[in-house]
Amino acid sequence: AQTVTQSQPEMSVQEAETVTLSCTYDTSESDYYLFWYKQPPSRQMILVIRQEAYKQQNATENRFSVNFQKAAKSFSLKISDSQLGDAAMYFCAYRSGETSGSRLTFGEGTQLTVNP
Amino acid sequence: DSGVTQTPKHLITATGQRVTLRCSPRSGDLSVYWYQQSLDQGLQFLIQYYNGEERAKGNILERFSAQQFPDLHSELNLSSLELGDSALYFCASSVVGLTETQYFGPGTRLLVL
């Protein structure tokens, strides 16, 4: 079974600075997808970014980018120019690529605080 | 707004009772997933339906059941409720395909007293 680990329960960053959230995963599969979801105080789960394992290029969405290291099974999220609205719980998630419609396996989450 | 709707937003009930949570997927999405988020278990996959058929089961208790109707909305039924069932229950939907991404509804917050 796949597992996802987020080793940083809490992180903080100054507004306008850059922060990196860590995620590692364990799998024997070669084809899979990785995601970062954001959960603000409203508790809504919001997709931040997605990475396909077969792509070598790291995904980028505006101020959010990932560092995907397939051999190391590492998938970190970098938030640049942090804003107060980025404060949330961030979850790393894994989905198998072997079958369509696979479940998401989530990490424990990292609570990000943005200080003004 | 993800396009996935869930009702009710909040639910307070007593132990031993039965409740039904409802989910309407995004337009065009055939797959519906149910997840439970609790303080001690984190975010866990419960069950998935695809076009009316059960596709995958996760850590779903026997007291829980789900179904997906012809109009693609889904219901999660929780019975013989216990205090430990108090959690946030999410529904997510996706289109079919290997690059599919799951989009989450706002969740139903269940409190069992």
pLDDT digits (tens, 9 = 90+) for A80-91: 999 999 999 999
pLDDT more than 90, % of chain A: 85
Q: Do A44 and B97 touch (CB under 8 A)?
A: no
CA distance A110 to chain B (A): 12
Nearest by CB to residue A103, choosing from B33, B90, B104, is B33
Question: Residues B57-62: what's their mean pLDDT?
Answer: 92
Helix, strand, coil percentages (3-state) for chain B, rounded to 5, are: 5, 55, 45
The predicted structure's pLDDT at residue A112: 98
User: Residue A84 contacts by C-beta under 8 Å, 6 or more apart in sequence?
Assistant: A15, A114, A116
Asked if A35's CB is within 8 angstroms of B98's CB, the reply is: no
8 Å CB contact of B102 and A50:
no
Residue A98 has pLDDT above 80, yes or no: no
Q: What is the pLDDT of residue A101?
A: 56
Residue of chain A whose alpha carbon sits nearest to that of B50: A101
> Quick one: pLDDT at residue B95?
81
| Reported confidence tier of residue A62, pLDDT bands at 50, 70, 90 | very high
For residue A50, list chain B residues with Cβ-Cβ distance below 8 A. Answer: 101
pLDDT of residue A40: 95
CB A107 within 8 A of CB A91: yes
Stronger pLDDT, A29 or A19, i.e. the higher one: A19
Task: Provide the pLDDT confidence category of residue B40 given band limits of 50, 70 and 90.
Answer: confident
Examine the pLDDT at B49 and tell me if it is beyond 80: yes
Min Cα distance A42 → chain B (Å) is: 8
CB-nearest partner of B48 from A37, A42, A103: A103
* pLDDT, average across residues A34-41: 96
Q: What is the 3-state secondary structure (H, E, C) of chain A?
A: CCEEECCCCEEEEECCCCEEECCEEECCCCCEEEEEEEECCCCCCEEEEEEECCCCCCCEECCEEEEEECCCCEEEEEECCCCHHHCEEEEEEEEECCCCCCCEEECCCEEEEEEC
What was the pLDDT predicted at A100? Answer: 57
**Banded model confidence at residue A44, pLDDT cuts 50, 70, 90:** very high
% residues pLDDT > 70 (chain B): 96
* Per-residue pLDDT at B59: 84
Q: Which residues of B17-27 are buried (b: 16+ CB within 10 A; e: fewer)?
A: eebebbbbbbe
Give the minimum alpha-carbon distance from A106 to chain B in angstroms, rounded to a whole number: 6
As a whole number of angstroms, the distance between CA B23 and CA B3 comes to 11
Residue B98, pLDDT score: 55
Looking at residue B81, what is its pLDDT? 97
Mean pLDDT of the region A22-49: 94
Torsion sign across C-alpha atoms A99, A33, A111, A42: negative
What is the pLDDT, as a whole number, of residue B39?
83
For B53-68, give one letter per residue: b (16+ CB within 10 A) or e. eebbebebeeebebeb
